[in-house]
Amino acid sequence: MTPDPVSPTDAERVAEAVATGTGLEALARTLTDPPLLAVVEAARRRLVPRLSDEATRLLRAVGAFPGSSAQDLRDVTLLDGPAFAAASRQLLDGGLVESTRFDVPDCWSRTARGAAVARSL
């Protein structure tokens, strides 16, 4: 006879959600323990930075067109030079995108953190 699998505790569920960056919203709705809720809220704030509308648009475009150049992304997002520069700086500084891949300059892709943030938008 195989024993029943043990259901994860709330703390284990929080640890899994924080580690993967997924399920934090749903988890916050089901928890009642204030310290665990505080951990979930802190993780949500850390994973979902306050992005400008332009940065959000650029993050989505990078996800939709990975490997695109900055000029291609400007064309897709319709952001002008200063708006693109500010949005890209916000994403680069936040570790949400990279502008090189495999030593190819100006090749934009999302980081793992950027993908987690994009899923939460």
pLDDT at 53 (0 to 100): 92
- pLDDT tens-digit profile of 71-108? 999 999 999 999 999 999 999 988 899 988 777 778 99
Instruction: Give CA torsion, residues 41, 46, 48, 50, to 10 deg.
Output: 110
pLDDT at 73 (0 to 100): 96
Residue 70 has pLDDT above 80, yes or no: yes
Nearest Cα to Cα of residue 57 among 81, 94, 84 = 84
- pLDDT tens-digit profile of 6-62? 888 999 998 888 887 677 777 888 899 999 999 888 887 776 678 899 999 999 999
